[in-house]
Amino acid sequence: MRALKKFYQILCKPAVHYSLGFLTIGGFVAGILFWGAFNTALEATNTEAFCTSCHEMRNNVFEELKPTIHYSNRSGVRATCPDCHVPHKWVDKIARKMQASKEVWGKIFGTISTREKFEAKRLHLAQNEWTRLKANDSLECRNCHEFDSMDFTLQAERAARQHSSSLASGEKTCIDCHKGIAHELPDMKGVEGYQ
């Protein structure tokens, strides 16, 4: 308690030995360094390599991603994990990163440490993502797939029919039809639109 009081007193007193210039400029530089380090660390957790460093991701969802078009395709553009699962806007990104602390908890206690445990949780985990994408109108899809840039005449007939009606009217969003676009689906009994 006494130490805390002393610390508070130091904080409240004006500096005796350091100039105002040193404190402000020094503080500014330290701020830049801190921000740079923080952002670098944050971005380091936003890479495919980081996501797949845990076997839970590497052996399940990452393996399932590999044969899909979002991993390898004719033009060589890859959507990595954070492209779809982490919002790009800073505030939303931080919010998602805070939620991810739950995933650290899961990692420590081995919530999905085996394939069986993962399969048992798959519906729950998938539903989290479906709800998130439904709520933000499939924002992470639309970061690359912009509706206004779609040429229906170049799409297959079935695709054009859906995109020009339900998607155009805003009645449906990408995730409503494109569930399981990058990973295996859970047991879909009772999910809307599935048998």
Partner 1 sequence: MKKLLLATLLLVSSVVFAANEGVMSLRSQSLDVQDPAEKLKNYPKENLQQPINYIQQPPLIPHHIRGYEVDRKTNKCLTCHSFKNFKRYGATKISVTHFINREGQALSDVSPRRYFCLQCHVPQVKAKPLVENTFEPTGALAE
Q: Residues in the site for partner 1, rule: CB under 8 A?
A: 67-69, 156-158, 161-162, 180-181, 184-188, 193-195
| CB closer to partner 1, 46 vs 84 | 84
Distance in Å from the first CA to the final CA of the chain = 65
Q: Shortest distance, CB of residue 88 to partner 1, whole angstroms?
A: 25
| CB closer to partner 1, 54 vs 188 | 188
Structure tokens at 16: 């005796």
| CB closer to partner 1, 87 vs 182 | 182
Ramachandran assignment for 110, one of left (phi > 0), alpha (psi -120 to 50 degrees), beta (any other): left
Q: Shortest distance, CB of residue 73 to partner 1, whole angstroms?
A: 10
Check if the beta carbon of residue 64 is closer than 8 Å to that of residue 183: yes
Q: Using the Cα atoms of residue 26, residue 27, residue 32 and residue 35 in order, give the sign of their dihedral.
A: positive
Give Cα separations from 129 to 59, 122, 133, 179, 187 (angstroms). Answer: 19, 11, 6, 10, 15
CA atoms within 13 Å, Cβ hemisphere of 56: 18
| CB closer to partner 1, 146 vs 192 | 192
| CB closer to partner 1, 10 vs 156 | 156
Q: Shortest distance, CB of residue 187 to partner 1, whole angstroms?
A: 4
Q: Using the Cα atoms of residue 51, residue 56, residue 58 and residue 62 in order, give the sign of their dihedral.
A: negative
Q: Shortest distance, CB of residue 165 to partner 1, whole angstroms?
A: 11
Q: Shortest distance, CB of residue 171 to partner 1, whole angstroms?
A: 12
